[in-house]
Amino acid sequence: MDRQKKNRPLAVVAMSGGVDSSLAAFLLKEQGYQVVGISMKLWDFKEVGGDPHPDGRCCSVEALNDARAICEKMGIPHYVIDFKDDFKKTVILNFVEEYEKGRTPNPCIVCNTEIKWRCLWEKAKALGAEFLATGHYARIKYDEKAKKFLLRKGVDPTRDQSYALWGLSQENLSRTIFPLGELTKREVRAKAKEHKLKVAEKMESQEICFVADDDYPRFIKEWLDKQGQGLALSEVEGLVLSEVEGSRACPERSRRARGQGGKIRRGPIFNLKGEKIGEHKGIPFYTIGQRRGLSIALGKPLYVIRIEPDKNAIYVGEDNDLFRSTFTVSHLNWIAFDDLEKERECRIKIRYQHQPQEGRISSLTKNEVMVKFKKSERAITPGQSAVFYQDDVVLGGGIINRVVNDWSAD
Amino acid sequence: MNDSQMRRVYLDHNATTPVHPEVLGAMLPYYKEKFGNASSIHGFGKEIKVALEESREKVAKSINATSNEIYFTGGGTESDNLAIKGTAFANRKKGKHIITSKIEHHAILESCKFLEKEGFEIAYLPVDKSGFVDPDDLKKALRKDTILVSIMYANNEVGTIEPVEELAKIAKDNGVYFHTDAVQAMGKIPADVQKLNVDMLSVSGHKIYGPKGVGAIYIRKGTRIIPWSHGGSHERSRRAGTENVPGIVGLAKALEIVHKEMEEQSKHLRNLTETFYRKLTQAIPDVFLNGHLEKRIPNTLSLSFKAVEGESIILSLDLKGVAVSTGSACASGSLEPSHVLSAMGIAPELAQAAIRFSFGRDNTMEDVDYVVKILPEIVSRLRSMSPLYANK
């Protein structure tokens, strides 16, 4: 496209230094956009350590250098913007608080809504950008009938990332471009090669970026230890040291700062009959379906079935005890319509690596829906996102709140 | 218009400057046929030694010193390190108290922090709202065991010129060494070490249209100082390491040029910055000057744009081909408010909104007009997004 520069819309591309965002930037430039690459500095491993791969991961110096070099080669400006404080105040705070409540958070989803489509988008607008683009595998289409921007799965079924994008608003979607949505990963690699976008063959990032060693217990423990010294959460919450250290002066606030679970305490492990059969190390260290680390030998493999933060208790059972079909979802964001007016059938995806399954959704309140799968599913986990699909369209999504004890009903 | 045709305006000369063509011309032979080592006794070395000492002579002349008081270093930061640490350790039997200011370059402040860990005591003098150190504060801070005072000649972020002559006199009257970091002042205002009465003065090459990686320090004869790098007997054993002769030749040439053209350049830069300031404040409301409009190095203007993040201005200007910075280049990338603006008592929200425009010899009135044309649009866009800015 040879449009005059002043008519070329400005698009900011979130650049990680990897192949996906690099090709996204390249394709946009080819399509005639004025492109600016921005890399986000989100996390400093010095905070609580645990950086076993200080090589070419998002936020590392190497990754930032890669992104800069690629942009330089493409002839587009590149900037590194520091969002570390915002990241702590939103993603990390939510991550730790959810674990303290015995839930299993998905920080990538919080990062998308709170950092990429809020902080980064604000910055992009400040630069005069009309669009924000990322290397996500998803598609956006305007639906004339519904007068809505619809979020759809990417065409590559093995790479689709629409699950992590359920939190985007209509305003977000109207200003977002996913240049890779129509491509498969194989095609992306081939195109990058064809256009000599030299992106180092990096390992795919599977773990959560700020817990690169995948050791959540370590992360949570070290983070809370630091908080105990008045360093971590006290900063982000703006609390004074004494409050976080638990002085009597303001117990309400200091408890809130630590999440409702309070301090990490050892507690009982019960079987489903309510008999105490062991002791756990603190509920933040457990997740539904977990088998490891229970230190109980009963001849049969045992799994975490339920976590009750109010009792500081963990319930364990056998694999078939993990299957449930009914749960509630809160923190809703509807994309395809304004509100769920009547019960409907759809497919529901309950974790990143999960094939959406058939079920029915109905409103409980304006902010909570009840979900009932046709067939029970293993390890429905509070804190994870549930995303509702109609074919490849994301109807909306939310956070799994409560799981109903209906295993016997199946 | 494509990107390569976009007008490019460089207004970040306090970060670094382009090498003057004459400087480059003077340096090139020393990368080619004149490659010898100044310490060698053969002919290849001797001609280099001659060039080295001629350069020393030129540098000395430009600040009214004698050549045996000039030591070449790897840059302004190294000169500052040598001045602070070298003097501190050489005089620690006399005392462990050092006085500096809160608005020094990090080369000074971090050297002082290091010394604090080594048992020295450092007093950091405050500055007023324009960035001036009050000589009375120095008088009050002096102690019997004070061994060194280091106050910069001109501040890199806001351009404020410190009353070095007066401050140095106070130190000298009390028998205390006085060092000044003149990295940003060189070539912009006269730097006569006799008139200023300083014992040490730091110079950098790349701020004065010379090469990077070379600097010099003036050390008055008789000053007690120990070297900070050890090895051969280069630089009369005060700075070991084979001399960066091409760089030194370039530094001397650069100093010679800026010294010769100071008056004319000063007029040129003052004209540009004053016009820029006048036109910009007419075009954009709520712009505040950080520093002092008169007592500043003539190329530097620090302006705060109310309710706008400085970072967003820099990036928006960069997209239009204009290079400016927030505070010092060394501190950019961090969101910490500038230590200089904080010390001046500038409110954090205005400190975050500060932009440093530092002009140079190649800038023209067209550059001024270009920035005055594009900046109001950028600022009003950012203000329209800002919850902090209520449109009148």
CATH of residue A382's domain is: 2.40.30.10
Residue of B4, B309, B319 to mutate for A, most A C-beta atoms under 10 A: B319
Amino acid at B61: K
DSSP B70: E
pLDDT (tens, 9 = 90+) of chain A, 410 residues, equals: 444 455 799 999 999 889 999 999 999 999 999 999 999 999 887 777 766 555 555 567 778 888 999 999 999 999 999 999 999 999 999 999 999 999 999 999 999 999 999 999 999 999 999 999 999 999 999 999 999 999 999 999 999 999 999 999 999 999 999 999 999 999 999 999 999 887 756 656 667 888 878 888 888 888 888 876 444 343 333 333 333 333 333 333 333 334 433 568 899 999 999 999 999 989 998 999 998 777 777 778 899 999 999 999 999 999 999 999 999 999 999 999 999 999 999 999 999 989 999 999 999 999 999 999 999 999 999 999 999 999 999 999 999 999 997 654 44
Nearest to B315 among A6, A82, A127 (CB): A127
Q: Report the distance separating Cα B316 and Cα B308, nearest Å.
A: 12
Q: What is the CATH number of the domain that holds B320?
A: 3.90.1150.10
Question: At which of B260, B284, B308 does a domain end?
Answer: B260
Q: Is A111 a catalytic residue?
A: yes
Same domain, yes or no: B320 and B374: yes
Is pLDDT above 50 for B329?
Answer: no
Q: A201 in a domain, yes or no?
A: no
Question: B1 lies in a domain?
Answer: no
Give the span between the Cα atoms of B255 and B252, in whole angstroms.
5
Indicate whether B104 and B205 sit together in one domain: yes
Q: Are residues B206 and B183 in the same domain?
A: yes
Task: Give yes or no for B318 touching A (CB within 8 A).
Answer: yes
Residues of A in contact with B385 (CB under 8 A): 122, 125-126
Chain A residues with CB inside 8 Å of B378's CB? 128
Q: Please tell me whether residues A224 and A148 are part of one structural domain.
A: no
Residue A377 has a pLDDT of 95
d(CA A338, CA A146): 10
Q: State both tokens at B87.
A: 């003097």
Residue B215 lies in a domain: yes
Looking at the complex, report in whole angstroms how far the Cα of residue B1 sits from the nearest Cα belonging to chain A: 6
- CB of A290 closer than 8 Å to CB of A274: no
Q: Provide the shortest C-alpha distance from residue B380 to chain A (in Å).
A: 10
The values of phi and psi at residue B338, to 5°, are: -55, 135
Cα angle value B111/B117/B119 (rounded, 5°) = 105
Is B105 found in the same domain as B26? yes
Instruction: Specify whether the CB–CB gap between B347 and B337 falls below 8 A.
Output: no
Contact B235, B328 (CB under 8 A): no
- Provide mean pLDDT across the span B171-185: 98
Kindly report the CATH number assigned to the domain that includes residue A303: 2.30.30
Q: Which amino acid is at A140?
A: I
Q: Encode pLDDT of B355-380 as tens digits.
A: 999 999 999 999 999 999 999 999 99
CB contact under 8 A, B318 and A125: no
- Under 8 Å CB pairs connecting chains A and B tally to 36
Q: In terms of Cα–Cα distance, which of A107, A105, A100, A106 is closest to A282?
A: A100
Task: Please state whether B365 falls in left (phi above 0), alpha (psi between -120 and 50) or beta.
Answer: alpha
* pLDDT number for residue A200: 58
Please give the single-letter amino acid code of residue A100.
E
Say how many domains are in chain A: 4
B270, B298 in Cβ contact below 8 A? yes
pLDDT value of position A58: 58
Q: What is the CA radius of gyration of chain B?
A: 22
Residue B89 in domain: yes
Cβ contact (<8 Å) for A82 and B318?
A: no
Number of domains in chain B: 2
- Residue A136: closest CA among A106, A111, A105: A111
Say how far apart CA B3 and CA A364 lie, in whole Å.
Answer: 55
| A305 and A228 within one domain | no
Chain B's closest residue to A122, CA to CA, is B385
What is the CATH classification number for the domain harbouring A106?
3.40.50.620
Q: Angle of helix A19-30 relative to helix A61-74, nearest 10 degrees?
A: 20
CATH of the domain at B193: 3.40.640.10
Q: What is the pLDDT of residue A410?
A: 40
Q: Which helix (H) or strand (E) holds B125?
A: strand B121-125
Question: Maximum distance among all alpha carbons in chain A?
Answer: 74
Decide if B169 is inside a domain.
yes
- What is the SS3 assignment for A46-97? CCCCCCCCCCCCCCCHHHHHHHHHHHHHHCCCEEEEECHHHHHHHHHHHHHH
Quick one: three-class SS letters along chain A? CCCCHHHCCEEEEECCCCHHHHHHHHHHHHCCCEEEEEEEECCCCCCCCCCCCCCCCCCCHHHHHHHHHHHHHHCCCEEEEECHHHHHHHHHHHHHHHHHCCCCCCHHHHHHHHHHHHHHHHHHHHCCCCEEECCCCEEEEEECCCCEEEEEECCCCCCCCHHHHCCCCHHHHHCEECCCCCCCHHHHHHHHHHCCCCCCCCCCCCCCCCCCCCCHHHHHHHHHHHHHCCCCHHHHHCCCHHHHCCCCCCHHHHHHHCCCCCCCCCEEEEECCCCEEEEECCHHHCCCCCCCCCCCCCCCCCEEEEEEHHHCEEEEECHHHHEEEEEEEEEEEECCCCCCCCCEEEEEECCCCCCCEEEEEEEEECCEEEEEEEEEEECCCCCCEEEEEECCEEEEEEEEEEECCCHHHC
Nearest to A126 among B3, B312, B333 (CB): B312
Task: Please check whether residue A136 is in contact with residue A168, taking contact to mean a CB–CB distance below 8 angstroms.
Answer: no
Q: Which domain holds residue B175?
A: 21-260
Residues of chain B contacting A77 with CB distance shorter than 8 Å: 318-319
Number of CB atoms found within 10 A of residue B136's CB: 9
Q: Assess if residue B98 is contained within a domain.
A: yes
Same-domain pairing of A13 and A130: yes
Question: In the annotation, is A71 catalytic?
Answer: no
Any chain B CB within 8 A of the CB of A353?
Answer: no
Q: Is the residue at B391 inside a domain?
A: no
What mean pLDDT value characterizes chain B?
Answer: 94
Let me know whether A9 and A86 are in one domain: yes
User: Which positions in chain B touch A126 (Cβ < 8 Å)?
Assistant: 309, 312, 315-316, 381-382, 385
pLDDT attached to residue A51: 61
Q: Are residues B268 and B370 in the same domain?
A: yes
- Annotate A196-233 with three-state secondary structure: CCCCCCCCCCCCCCCCCCCCHHHHHHHHHHHHHCCCCH
- Catalytically annotated residue among A58, A59, A119, A209: A209
* Domain-embedded: residue A208: no
| A15 and A107 within one domain | yes
Q: Are residues A402 and A275 in the same domain?
A: no
Contact B319 A81 (CB under 8 A): no
What residue type is A129 in one-letter code? A
CA atoms of A303 and B118, how far apart (whole Å): 56
Higher pLDDT, B316 or B392: B316
Same domain assignment for residues A295 and A237: no
Residue B330's pLDDT band (cuts 50, 70, 90): very low
Closest in B319, B334, B335 to A127, CB measured: B319
Residues A248, A250, A252: CA angle, nearest 5 degrees: 110
Residue B296 clears pLDDT 70, i.e. is over it: yes
End-to-end CA distance of chain A: 58
CB contact (8 A) between residue B315 and residue A79: yes
pLDDT value at position A409?
Answer: 41
Q: Are residues B289 and B380 in the same domain?
A: yes
pLDDT at B233: 87
Nearest CA in chain A to B316: A127
A145 and A238 assigned to the same domain: no
The answer to whether residue A55 is domain-embedded is yes
- Verify that B169 and B101 share a domain, yes or no: yes
In a domain, A211, yes or no: no
Same domain, A245 and A375: no
In a domain, A204, yes or no: no
Say if A202 falls within a structural domain.
no
A249 backbone φψ class: left, alpha, beta (φ>0; ψ -120 to 50): alpha
Q: Are residues B219 and B313 in the same domain?
A: no
The residue type of B74 is: G
Is the model's pLDDT at B122 over the cut of 70?
A: yes
Asked if residue A64 is part of any domain, the answer here is yes
Does B390 reside within a domain?
A: no
pLDDT for position A258 = 41
A249: domain range?
216-257
Residue A295 pLDDT = 72
Q: Do A297 and A329 belong together in one domain?
A: no
ipTM: 0.84
Q: Write out the two tokens for A140.
A: 């956006």
Bridge partners for A140 per DSSP: A151
Whether residues B229 and B267 fall in one domain:
no
* Residue where one domain finishes, among candidates B260, B293, B321: B260
Instruction: Catalogue the long-range contacts made by B366-374 (C-beta closer than 8 Å, 24 or more residues apart).
Output: B367/B9, B367/B11, B367/B272, B368/B272, B368/B275, B368/B276, B368/B279, B369/B279, B370/B7, B370/B9, B370/B322, B371/B9, B371/B11, B371/B276, B371/B280, B371/B317, B371/B322, B372/B276, B372/B279, B372/B280, B372/B283, B374/B317, B374/B320, B374/B322
Burial of B91 (0-12, 13-18, 19+ CB in 10 A): buried
Q: Does B116 fall in a domain?
A: yes
Q: What is d(CA B247, CA B206) in angstroms, rounded to the nearest whole number?
A: 10
B132 DSSP assignment: P
Interface of A with B in 65-84 (CB under 8 A): 75, 77, 79-82
A332 and A391 together in one domain:
yes
Active-site position among B6, B315, B319, B330: B330
Is residue B379 less than 8 Å (CB to CB) from chain A?
Answer: no
> Same domain for A273 and A360?
no
The Cα–Cα gap between B150 and B83 comes to 9
Token duo for residue B165: 């002559």
